[in-house]
Every structure is written in structure tokens, then in C-alpha cells.
Chain A
Amino acid sequence: MQLYLPIAEVSVNIFLILGLGGLVGVLSGMFGVGGGFLITPLLFLAGIPPAVAVATSTNQIVASSFSALLGHLRRRTVDMAMGAVLLAGGLVGSGLGIVLFNWLKARGQVDLLVELSYVVFLGTVGAMMFVESVNALVKSRRPGARPKRRKHYWVHALPLKMKFRVSGLYISAIPPLLVGLSVGVLAAIMGVGGGFVMVPAMIYLLGMPTKVVIGTSLFQIIFVTAFTTMLHAVTNQTVDIALALLLIAGGVIGAQLGTRIGARMKAEQLRILLALLVLAVCGQLALGLVLEPSELYEIEAGAPA
């Protein structure tokens, strides 16, 4: 069944888009990632113009993240205090990121920068998570092994200490602010919610428990992507509501399933899966940069004359 999208100006298969939305929704619910780094390339493949794909996927992420967040709120796995601190940093960061993005765009090569930062960040984050979670899984299987005591990172020595009750942390507000800020910058440059950077940063830099991390990440993602959606709608008019509705319909159902699956799995298993997923996307992008493309030319259509 075909549907003509009013803003994207292409005709798409309804079930294909529903399926894409559902797939990304499952991942969103399981891992607390918005899925922007997956849905956008998938929409390119489905023939949606890049500008519309980027803008519309942020709107879809709002819906699937909200659906997943409600699931986490019911289980009380959202640290609102931490989320608010991260968000404060994140909004400042995305503002800075947009300025940086436009500065780079004026100098060309913005595509290359986006792809390179994807490869570098996905590669590092994925590899770190994979090694760490495999180690954790091996240790937990070994009988008689004592649980390791919570490490004291350098971040614990900073001033402005705050109590994050849900995470069971009493740390300075400065590290979460900085994490939020840098994720905000990345999010604006790479056009994603930033969950795939945020989740590992919360686990490894802030020392938050994995179960709380996902809900808290979702909480922050909703606000960042809502902000980006508005920005795209107002400046470029590239949010396609018909496309978004199809993605949302698939996505909200997927997110609910994903939350259920996530709740039944071990934290280490979840992290290994997310690490593998991140590495796969990274590998795909790296290949695209290194292999000779079949078409050396590309067209960037301008505004209608």
C-alpha cells in the first residue's frame, strides 16, 4: 500500500515505514537510545530526502522515547534529578553545537565531519562497552567472586555535591553538566538524540546503575529531540507529519515491546548487545568512507528557482 508524503514529496510503502519505526522502537525501549543513528540512514535507503529524514526522525524519537519513558517511570527507574542536570547541560550544548555546525557548513566538508565523528564515537563507545560488559559477564559467572566495591573516580572530589537518590549517588553536579553539554554538542552536529553516547557516559563516567541509566537517558532525549524538531520545523519546514505518524505508530508499539524485553534481560547482556549494534553501525560507516563509491558524483539539489 502506497502513501504520498506531503513534505518529502515521495511515495512510500506504508508497511515498510511501519516496520522501520517498530524496529527502532524496540531498540529504543531496550537500550534507552533514541535510535536516531539508525532510523536516519534507514530512511535514506527508503528514498526519503536526507533533510526530511533527519528532521522527521527527531519527531519520531520524541514519541518512542516518551512511550518507553512511561514504562520506566512505572518501574521507578528514572532519576529525575540527574535528568534535569544533564538536560540543563544538554540544552546549552545543543545551542553551541548548532553554532559550530553552521560554522563548519560555511567551510564545506560538514558531511565528512559528521561521518568521521560517527565512526570515532561509535567505535570508541562500542569497543569500550563490549570489552567491559564481556568482562563483567565472565566475572558474574565465576562462583564465589565478590562483587566489586564502587570505585572512587576523580569526579567524586569536585565541589557542588548533589544527592541523586534514585541512582544512589552523592556526587558533584559538574560532571553530569559537562556530560550533558558535550552530548548536546554532538547531538546537534550529528543530528541524533545522543543516547548512544549518553548511556555509556552515565555508566562509566558517572557510575550510575545500568537500569536507572536507560530511563534517565530517555528523559533527557525527549527534551533534546523536541527542541530539535521545533528548530527543523521552523527553519527548514522539513518535518513530514505523515511520515512521522507512520514511524510513530510502529515505534510506540516497538518501544513497549523493547521495554519488556529489556526488563527481563541481564544488564551485562543488554550492554553487550548495544555494544555490538553500535560497532556494526560504526563498521558500516567506516566502510563507506574507505571503499571506493560506485558513484563518485552526488547531486545536492538547491531551492526551486
Chain B
Amino acid sequence: MIRLALVLLALALPARAEEIVLGLSRDEVAITATFDGSDILIFGAVRREAPPPAEAGPLQVIVTVSGPHAPAIVRRKERRAGIWINTDAFEVDAAPSFYAVATTAPMNEVLSATEDLRHGVSTPRAIRAVGNLIPGAGTYVSALVRIREEAGVYRLQEGAVDLEQETLFRTALSLPANLVEGNYTTRILLTRGGAVVDSYETVIGVQKVGIERWLYNFAQERAALYGLMSLAIAIAAGWGASVAFAGWRR
């Protein structure tokens, strides 16, 4: 009985022939007042116990970085009585605020469709929409991806990962200026012949610091006081400008 359990366990957890050792140029991004984007270098090595299997195809690397997930409503416009109005809406349960995929080769060579489904790698797969079963839901999800790709927050960079001698890999990722706070999940997947060999996950923390942090907390926690401060500043600025101009005129 024990022997059978051990065998099953051994089958369930095959010894990984190839493993990822990762480095990050930074695991924190501080949003300061002058923040206008940030570059992160993601690099690592593949550790192996035995020589790489020859028949399984070349080693490929996929790097994904995902911002915090949030629900989103996608609305569609239609022409009614000559004007364009919102007619239908579809709710996506969770879509990342930022999503970047970098690979060593074109996506279809790197990862098979079933493995993509299982690991949720490509952008449409990274969006969770339970109502995906509703007919036509796919067009809403692809609209979401299209709009966010145009805005530069969803990216697919095929061939952007450098892999040397099937051992050392690195890629540079530029985070945009309109970055939302939160934990950015970074995943590295090794694949051979479209199948995932090993994966590794880590988190890059993105946080406002200094005056940005202070103002944000102030606005959230003491909303009424913050509103009054905003008004006081507005009135003072209006008065100051009026006085300054009256003096300048004389």
C-alpha cells in the first residue's frame, strides 16, 4: 500500500530535468512625482542535472508580467435612430491592468494551445471571464484586448527574450507611465515542443512613495478634509492671482 502511494507520488511529481534560476534588476518600482515609466531587466539561467533531451525540440522561454486584476465592463455601440448608443454590455470578471508577454520565438512555436489554456499565458487566456460560454462573448474579450493593446498596456513581444546556449536568458521590459499600484506577478516558463517543462513565479511590487503616497492616502482616508483643502487652495490661488495682477497693472 505504502509502496503504491510512493509510486503514485513519484508519477505525480516527476523530477524536473530543467529548472529556472531567476534574477531581476529590481523587485520594487517606486512611483515618485516624476515617474514616467520604468525599465526592468528580467534574467536567469536554466539549471539541469542531465544533458538536454535531444528529441523534445529546442528550449524556449516565455516571460509574462501581469498587473493587478480588476473586473471590467465592455460596452458595444449600435446605431439606433441615427445616433450611436451603447446597446449591449458584457462583464469581464477579472482583467489585468497591465499584461506583457515576451518569448524567444513566435507564440505558436513556443506553446501549444492546450498548455496555453492550462497555464493561462497568452493575453486572452489571462483574462478571466466566467460568462465566456455566452454566445458572442469572445468578441467582447477580443475588443478588450484590442483596446488595451492600442493603449500599450497589453503587449506581445515575440522574440524579445534572448536565450544563449539553452542556458542563459534575459529580456528587458518597459513599464508604462500610467502604471497602477499593486503586485505585478512575473512568470517565467520553460517549454520544449510546446509543453511547459518548468515555471517560476515572483512578484514585483509597484507602490507610490513620498508625496504621491501621502496625497493618495489623504484623499482616501480623510476625504472631507481633503476636499476642503482643495477648495482652500483654489480660493487662495484665485485671490493671489487677482491681487498679483492688480498690483502689476498699477
Taking Cβ atoms with an 8 Å cutoff, the residues of A that contact B are 2-4, 6-7, 9-11, 47, 59-60, 62-71, 74, 108-109, 111-112, 226, 229-230, 232-235, 237, 239, 241-242, 244-245, 248-249, 252-253, 255-256, 289-293, 295-305
Contact = CB atoms under 8 A, between A and B. Distances in A.
Q: Considering the complex of A and B, which 5 residue pairs feature the smallest CB-CB distances, nearest first?
A: A233-B227, A66-B238, A252-B241, A11-B177, A297-B143
B74 A9 contact: no
Given A6-B208, A305-B70, A297 B178 contact: no
Nearest to B236: A63
A112 to B, nearest CB: 5
Contacts of B196: none
B238 A230 contact: no
Interface string B12-27: 0000000000000000
Given A60-B234, A230-B228, A234-B224, A297 B216 contact: no
Contact of A290 (B34, B68, B82, B235): B82
20 contacts: A2-B35, A2-B36, A4-B34, A6-B211, A62-B238, A64-B238, A67-B242, A112-B83, A233-B219, A233-B223, A233-B227, A234-B224, A242-B33, A289-B83, A291-B84, A293-B84, A297-B75, A302-B73, A304-B68, A304-B182
A31 to B, nearest CB: 17
Contacts of A252: 237-238, 240-242
Interface in B23-67: 31-37
B229 A241 contact: yes
Contacts of B182: 304
Contact of A70 (B78, B97, B230, B239): B239
Interface of B: 31-37, 68-79, 82-86, 94, 97, 140, 143-144, 146-148, 177-182, 208, 211-213, 215-216, 219-220, 223-224, 226-231, 233-235, 237-242, 245-246
Given A62-B235, A241-B219, 13 more contacts: A2-B34, A11-B35, A66-B234, A235-B223, A237-B219, A237-B220, A239-B226, A245-B237, A295-B143, A295-B147, A296-B143, A299-B73, A302-B71
Contacts of B235: 62-63, 66
B83 A63 contact: no
Given A59-B234, A233-B226, A301 B70 contact: yes
A109 B83 CA distance: 13
B215 A63 contact: no
A241 B85 contact: no
A7 B215 contact: yes
Interface centre among B144, B178, B238 (most CB of A within 10 A): B238
A47 B143 CA distance: 19
A71 B219 CA distance: 32
A7 B211 CA distance: 12
A141 B211 CA distance: 58
Nearest to B217: A6
Contacts of B83: 112, 289-290
B224 A233 contact: yes
Contacts of A9: 178-181
Contacts of B240: 252
A299 B234 contact: no
Contact of A71 (B76, B226, B242): B242
B72 A301 contact: yes
A4 B32 contact: yes
A230 B227 contact: yes
B216 to A, nearest CB: 5
B208 A70 contact: no
A10 B224 CA distance: 24
Contacts of A305: 68-71, 94
B212 A6 contact: yes
Contact of B230 (A4, A11, A233, A295): A233
B233 A245 contact: yes
B82 A298 contact: no
Contacts of A59: 230-231, 234
A301 B235 CA distance: 33
B37 A248 contact: no
Contact of B177 (A2, A60, A297): A2
A233 B215 CA distance: 13
A297 B140 contact: yes
A63 B242 CA distance: 11
A286 B231 CA distance: 34
A256 B245 contact: yes
Contacts of B74: 297-300
B147 A297 contact: yes
